Amino acid sequence: MKKWKIILLLAGVAVVALQITNPARTNPPVLHDLAATNPPPAEITALLRAACYDCHSHETKWPWYARIAPSSWLVVSDVNEGREHFNFSEWPTDPELVVKRLDRINEVLDYKEMPPKKYTLLHPEARLTEAQRKFIMDWADAAGKKTEATAPPK
């Protein structure tokens, strides 16, 4: 066998062996979606679902490269970390927490931290225009004020 063929074969074996390291891709049940407490207008729901839900909900649409190591490690860890920090499928009912979450949405959009660049590179449908950002921020702001105004007194 030619040397390059052996190298190719070994590389192939290594890639196959790597596949046993694929981490689990979970989609646990949706406990309490944002829509249950703070239903946004349909256009906002569509934007959040396109730009955020893959990493911040239990409704992740796993891409094909989440099935193949080593890219699977990166995708799964991003989703797990995203869910841990902020989860639209575990939206709070306590008005104080709701207001905090809505504030955080405003912050990350204002600083253009979310959705992450590495994500929008591969998901053009998740890119937000200036107008869309502002649209979501205005909604989050209004929803926060409304929640504060209607919260029962402590």
105: contact with ligand HEC by CB under 6 A: yes
Binding mask 34-53 for ligand HEC (x = CB under 6 A): -----------------xx-
- Gap between the Cα atoms of 102 and 61, Å rounded: 24
The span from the CA of 85 to the CA of 142, in Å, is 23
- The verdict on 119 binding ligand HEC (CB under 6 A) reads yes
Nearest distance, CB of residue 9 and ligand HEC, angstroms? 35
Between 69 and 102, CB nearer to ligand HEC:
102
Token code pair at residue 71: 């890219």
Query: Which span sits near ligand HEC by CB under 6 A: 16-24, 34-42, 78-86, 89-97?
Result: 78-86
Q: Is 144 in the site for ligand HEC (CB under 6 A)?
A: no
SS3 letters across the chain:
CCHHHHHHHHHHHHHHHHHHHCCCCCCCCCCECHHHHCCCCHHHHHHHHHHCHHHHCCCCCCCHHHCCCCHHHHHHHHHHHHHHHCCCCECCCCHHHHHHHHHHHHHHHHCCCCCCHHHHHHCHHHCCCHHHHHHHHHHHHHHHHHHHHHCCCC
Q: Which of 7, 116, 142, 148 binds ligand HEC (CB under 6 A)?
A: 116
Q: Which is nearer to ligand HEC, 4 or 64 (CB)?
A: 64
Scanning 11-19, 61-69, 111-119, 143-151 for contacts with ligand HEC by CB under 6 A, the matching segment is: 111-119
Residue ranges in contact with ligand HEC by CB under 6 A: 51-52, 54-56, 78, 81-82, 85-86, 104-105, 108, 114-116, 119
